[in-house]
Amino acid sequence: MNKMSNKKIEWIEFLRCYACISIVLFHVIRHFGSFYIKKTTLQKLFNILILGIFNNMGVYCFIMISGYLILNPAKDISLTKIKKYIKRMVFILLIFGYTFCVCTNIHNRNDNIFKILLISFFDLIQGKTINHLWYIYMLIGLYILTPALKIFINNASKKTAKFILISLFILGILIPTINDFFHIKLTTFNLKNLLYIFIYLLGYYITVKDFINEKIIYSCGVIGIIGYIMIIIITKNIPHTNIFNIFESIMIFKIFSTGKIKIKHNKFIKKIAKYSFGVYLIHYYYLTLIPNFFKVYINNFPFIFGEILTIGLILAISYITSVILYKLPFLKKILTT
Distance from C-alpha of 97 to C-alpha of 102, rounded to nearest angstrom = 9
Over residues 204-217, the mean pLDDT reads 87
pLDDT, one tens digit per residue, over 280-308 is 999 998 888 776 666 666 666 666 677 77
pLDDT, one tens digit per residue, over 157-193 is 999 999 999 999 999 999 988 888 888 888 767 777 8
Cβ burial, residue 190 (10 Å; 0-12/13-18/19+): exposed
Q: Where are the alpha helices (DSSP H) in 170-240?
A: 175-182, 194-205, 214-235
Distance from C-alpha of 301 to C-alpha of 307, rounded to nearest angstrom = 8
Q: DSSP readout, 237-294?
A: ---S--HHHHHHHHHHHHHHHTT-S-----HHHHHHHHTHHHHHHHHHHHHHHHHHHH
Distance from C-alpha of 19 to C-alpha of 40, rounded to nearest angstrom = 29
Q: What was the pLDDT predicted at 291?
A: 67
pLDDT, one tens digit per residue, over 231-284 is 877 877 777 678 998 999 999 999 999 877 777 767 888 889 999 999 999 999
Length of the chain: 337
pLDDT for residue 16 is more than 50: yes
pLDDT for residue 91 is more than 70: yes
Dihedral sign computed on CA atoms, order 126, 193, 281, 309: negative
| Backbone phi, psi, residue 78, to 5° | -80, 165
Range picked from 28-32, 33-37, 73-77 for highest mean pLDDT: 73-77
pLDDT tier, 319 (very low <50, low <70, confident <90, very high otherwise) = very high
Task: Give residue 183's region: left, alpha or beta (phi > 0; psi -120 to 50).
Answer: left
pLDDT, one tens digit per residue, over 108-156 is 888 888 899 999 999 999 998 988 999 999 999 999 999 999 999 999 9
